[in-house]
Amino acid sequence: MNWEVLVANAAKKRLRRFPKRDAEQILSAVEQFAVSPYSGDIEKMEGEKDTWRRRVGAYRVFYEVYQSKRLVYVYDIRRRTSKTY
């Protein structure tokens, strides 16, 4: 059974600003959430219940997982810097 993946408008807007090759890699990773939101280079965010981040090169995809609805909500995508998290 597949997962539904929703991407926030703010995350889509930020994604359009990234170089095309990087954006394609990030989109590929986001599409993989439909199969399993727990695969890849992921890490649970400290102090949060169901909030995760996935590393895609120099970028981080932040998302929440809603088990009961089988929903993955991508709320932010950022380039990794010393201030990202």
Domain-by-domain residue ranges, the chain? 4-79
Q: Which CATH class is domain 4-79?
A: alpha beta
Residues 9-44: b if buried by 16+ CB within 10 A, e if exposed: eebeebbeebeeeebeebeebbeebeeebeeeebee
pLDDT in tens, 28-78: 999 999 999 999 999 999 888 889 999 999 999 999 999 999 999 999 999
Q: State the pLDDT at residue 1.
A: 62
Residue 85 pLDDT class (50, 70, 90 cuts): low
Return d(Cα 10, Cα 57) in angstroms, integer: 20
CA geometry: angle 51, 66, 41, nearest 5 deg = 45
